[in-house]
Structure 1
Amino acid sequence: MVGNAELRAVMADLGLTRADLAHLVNQELVALGCPGTLTVRTVGTWLSGQSRWPQGRIRTALERALRRTPEQLGFIPHRTAQPQVPSEEPVLRRDFLAASAAAALPSMIASRGQAVGHTDVDRLKESLRTLTALDDHRGGHGSLETAALAGSDQALGKVDRTISDSVRRRLYSLAADYTATAAFSCIDDRRLDDAERHFETALRLAGLGNDHVTTMRVFNCLSMVGYHRNKPAVALSAAWAAQNAQAARRDPLLASLAHARAAIAHSTTGDRQAALRCLGHARDALSRVDDRERPTWTDFYGSAELFALSAVVHQHLDNSAESESASHRALAGIPPQFRRNRASATARLALAQLGQGEIEQATTTANSVYTLMGDDPLPPRLLTLLGDFHRGLITLAPTSAVTREWTDRVHAQGETQ
């Protein structure tokens, strides 16, 4: 596209339309004591290249508005600039004010810094992808929570340097996503009070950013918190809130996840019919999923993860055989990079096998959780599952050699279950 490519790129990065830019420049003109008369048509001449060097006071206002020099905005100075002699006092006054502002401009730009744009937000999002990948591999822990909260602080620290609503909303949305990541890490770390506190903050930030996807994410995770607190009513209410979130109504993948979460909540109360009905809704919604762009935190969810969640439902409904089948299908499909989820599905498989009296097979499966996680410490949420397995094994076969070997393994790991 011909014309002033630099100005066009800056406007796109800052999220500005022609009308937005005219409004911002006029605000600065008024602050300089000049009439705010810049029109959208004039902005068009800048973009087309027809006007290559704005007038003095307008140029000063433009620098103040975008916090960039004219050269950075793609303007080219005239080779010979003839000074104009002011003929009227008002003109002299305006030129004096504009010249004074221009003289002060370098220090103003240095102190305020350049305006934050979409490129800055994109760079911050890359760091969030790294944290999400770390969570998928290792699971939640204190260092991940700290890093996520630092990312949120970075995003919020840039809000005051935005000049467009679109960039400002993206920063609030990104801060919400970072904070929700910190909260999810706390769930894995079994620090549920901290998780709830972070989720409250994430929900507020998502509102400021008009971010319906993160809002749905928060309600989905609050359903998990209710589940881990053994409060089925809370878990179910949060799952319903996730289903009713605008993002879930628009995206069948998110709707499927919310239905699966509701199924787990129903299963903990023994409501078989409602739990299985919700699983059916989750499968139906998943069959309608398209390939639209989604946040990286949703990458874990698909048919394999739905099988993993189905295994949880069937376990609560005392369908050990169904739970084992679903766990096998989950493990056949969960990608290797989601190591924590594979370990959780493996622990569920061990519980399902134990529920059918397959003591040796179940113990072998449970031992493979440690192998899968390698040298990394097991997240407390995963340890809780293995603790359930430990208690079930002792109850079922308290004196068997398999139980003694498993108990020795647990003691050797030095982990309380």
Structure 2
Amino acid sequence: MTSSITTSSQPDRPVRPNHTFRQLRGRHSPAEFAALVRRAAREIGERVSCDARYIGRVEAGEIRCPNYAYERVFLHMFPGRTLADLGFAHRSAVRGRGARPAGDVPLVLAVGETRGPVDPYDPQNGSEPQDRFEEQDRHHPQNTYETHDNYEESDVLRRLFMTGGGATVAAATLGPLGSTIDAVAANRPPHRAGSSHAAALEEAVRRIRLLDDRHGADGLYRRAAAPLRAAYALLDAGATRQTTAERLHSGAGELAISVGWLAHDSGRFDDARSHYAEALATARMTGDQGLEAHAFCNTAFLARDAGRPREAVRAAQAAQRVGRPLGSARLMSLLALREAGGWAGLADRTGCEQALARAQALFERGHSDADPEWMSFYGEAELEGLEAQCWSTLGDWRRASRHARRAAELQDPHFTRNIALYTAELADDLARGGRPDEAARAGLRVLDLLDQVQSSRIQGMLAGTARVLLPHRRAGGVQEFLDRHASTPRVV
């Protein structure tokens, strides 16, 4: 059977190629230039998912003005130049409220809710987040929404979280699949999925990761079920093109992993295991080695936390087998750390030390273009934090606290949840290592972050630290920590 190919409506504005940007690319291929853009982004602490397609769209004039993250990267690459010097239009010329062409799919809706006057991500809203999108690009059928890591959005999310809690943040920002979610709930799945659906699915994954980085999983997990159901409804509907089908399968698998992680971090281990298995099945059906390695990686982490260390070792080793051909040393480093965690759970110090040594050696090879996008969290701080967990499991509190302290000090402020996690690890290691006063100070720092972070995992760690510190009430700061911990609301 031949699938009918549907075409989305195109913007009314004529597209003008960006010849200036093409000249700046020089002799580099689009893929080579995209690699240079990603490298420049890392130099200034930005994270963009630039690829050859994005460069092609810029040069074709489909992207008339880059979002703020790309703007910072381009101006860093070409110091002394303005956006106009790079062939882009002024931002004020592309931020209007252009009417949506008839038949376009409205992709930015709150999950499970209707539009309201305070929805900060309504594309018809004149508030600050509208600036994240190029006005023309917002409705383009191949929109990849590469706007998820700019600081303007971070400020909005932080304000929402502080005033409304994690559920409010989720409702406001997990909505690029809104129309599909509504259709699935009404038993009206789409007849065919297009590239706009694939782009919305990819954006849902990015937003979940962004929110988890800042605020933890507890306020997000229940909200994330609807996008996941919509993702698999899109797979069942079929796609207009093979490339779109591949993006949908990859996006659905990554979304299943992201939702699985939310379940994992909020203590719902059985749910997490189910979601990871779903992602693994999706990966194997399509031969997606990157997705399979990611699913095994998270399965290993879950098995360690659930008290199944031998399964953790096997899953980590399976991830390394499937991930080796991908060519990312950083990926292999993280997978070696997952294996080390399993060996620590088995009280195999030798196996753990050998895996840790491999992880360190692979990490020192540095970044590469083969590094998966989902690994943006994995830097030196995460390396130190995971090693701290290994030493803690082995009962070496001195080494564990040294690595946990270094992890907290190295962590980028963007990752609020991880700062709280590493500091909670430090507090527990110090408490068990016989340094109650230092443990109390670290625990108080974590409590200061709990108005921004909702994570059952972190709260469970603090509860364990409090139990260890109970006999040391007379030590400096311990009573204050115990009192504040006792009065802190628990996540439901």
TM-score (norm 1): 0.67
Q: Distance in 2 between matches of 1:196 and 1:122?
A: 26
CA contact (8 A) 1:212 1:247 kept: no
For the residue of structure 2 that corresponds to 1:340, the secondary structure is helix
Partner of 1:60: none
In the alignment, residue 371 of structure 1 is paired with which amino acid? D
Matched, 1:130 2:207: yes
Partner of 2:289: 212
Q: Distance in 1 between matches of 2:425 and 2:247?
A: 38
Q: Distance in 1 between matches of 2:382 and 2:446?
A: 17
In the alignment, residue 410 of structure 1 is paired with which amino acid? H
CA contact (8 A) 1:251 1:289 kept: no
Bigger mean CA offset, 198-207 vs 208-217: 208-217
Partner of 2:460: 384
Is there any run of 5+ residues in structure 2 with no aligned partner, and where? 1-6, 11-187
CA contact (8 A) 2:193 2:234 kept: yes
Matched, 1:394 2:475: no
In the alignment, residue 345 of structure 1 is paired with which amino acid? Y
Question: Percent of aligned pairs with the same residue?
Answer: 25
CA contact (8 A) 2:198 2:247 kept: yes
For the residue of structure 1 that corresponds to 2:434, the secondary structure is coil
CA contact (8 A) 2:189 2:233 kept: no
CA contact (8 A) 1:263 1:313 kept: yes
CA contact (8 A) 2:190 2:234 kept: no
Matched, 1:272 2:272: no
Matched, 1:167 2:244: yes
Question: How far off is 1:115 after superposition?
Answer: 5.8
For the residue of structure 1 that corresponds to 2:220, the secondary structure is helix
CA contact (8 A) 1:172 1:208 kept: no
CA pair 228-276 structure 1, distance change in 2 beyond 3 A: same
In the alignment, residue 390 of structure 1 is paired with which amino acid? A
Is there any run of 5+ residues in structure 1 with no aligned partner, and where? 1-6, 11-110
TM-score (norm 2): 0.57
Matched, 1:184 2:261: yes
Pairing 1:100-179 to 2, within 5 Å after superposition: 116-141=193-218, 144-159=220-235, 160-179=237-256
> Per-residue CA shift, 1:97-143, capped at 9, x if unaligned?
xxxxxxxxxxxxxx9989644444223312321111001111112x5
Q: Distance in 1 between matches of 2:434 and 2:318?
A: 39
For the residue of structure 2 that corresponds to 1:245, the secondary structure is helix
CA contact (8 A) 1:263 1:279 kept: yes
Pairing 1:59-78 to 2, within 5 Å after superposition: none
Q: Distance in 1 between matches of 2:204 and 2:307?
A: 34
How many residue pairs get aligned? The number is 308
Pairing 1:12-27 to 2, within 5 Å after superposition: none
> Per-residue CA shift, 1:233-261, capped at 9, x if unaligned?
12212211222223675321111111001
Partner of 1:409: 484
In the alignment, residue 343 of structure 1 is paired with which amino acid? A
Q: Distance in 2 between matches of 1:303 and 1:401?
A: 32
Q: Distance in 2 between matches of 1:138 and 1:343?
A: 10
Partner of 2:419: 342
Partner of 2:359: 282
Q: Distance in 1 between matches of 2:220 and 2:196?
A: 24
Pairing 1:220-239 to 2, within 5 Å after superposition: 220-239=297-316
CA contact (8 A) 2:189 2:234 kept: no
In the alignment, residue 411 of structure 1 is paired with which amino acid? A
In the alignment, residue 275 of structure 2 is paired with which amino acid? H
Question: How far off is 1:399 after superposition?
Answer: 6.0
Question: How far off is 1:173 after superposition?
Answer: 1.2
Question: How far off is 1:201 after superposition?
Answer: 1.4
Partner of 2:377: 300
In the alignment, residue 294 of structure 2 is paired with which amino acid? R
Tell me which structure has the larger Cα radius of gyration.
1
In the alignment, residue 194 of structure 1 is paired with which amino acid? D
Bigger mean CA offset, 263-272 vs 302-311: 263-272
